[in-house]
Amino acid sequence: MRQIYIKPRSNEVLYNITIGINPMKIEEWRRFMHDDHLPKIFASNCFASYRMCRIIDEQADSTTIAVQYLAHSVEHLKKYNQDYAADLQREHMEKFGSDAVAYRSVLDILEEGEWQEV
């Protein structure tokens, strides 16, 4: 038999950045993310993990990527925004300009679950 297992609530929040990227720049952008940007994000010690997803329902003139960072807590996200975000966003903008336009949102994780055997 299978049922939904609901994980215990944590203080973590999801910091979601949706980026519309010029398809001609996607490989350069991914190298930049792996080699430069992500290491700096995690050096802040504000995040536990990340997930990078391509949005499937997209228009032909751009590639849309959602990068989701799992912050340890709202306080950690506030620290990131106060101490690190402006410099990292500026670096990203200087490197890609209008070829990678970002929109940011913060999501409070209400519930997480898994489908499991019991």
Give the residue extent of every domain in the chain.
2-117
Fold assignment, 2-117: Alpha-Beta Plaits (3.30.70)
Predicted model pTM: 0.88
pLDDT of residue 6: 85
pLDDT of residue 47: 98
What is the edge-to-edge ordering of all strands in the sheet holding 100-108?
47-54, 63-71, 13-21, 100-108
Helix (H, G, I), strand (E, B) or coil at 81: helix
In the chain, which residues have pLDDT < 70? Answer: 58-62
47-77: per-residue pLDDT in tens? 999 999 999 875 656 689 999 999 999 999 9
Q: By C-alpha distance, which of 58, 65, 56, 1 is closest to 32?
A: 65
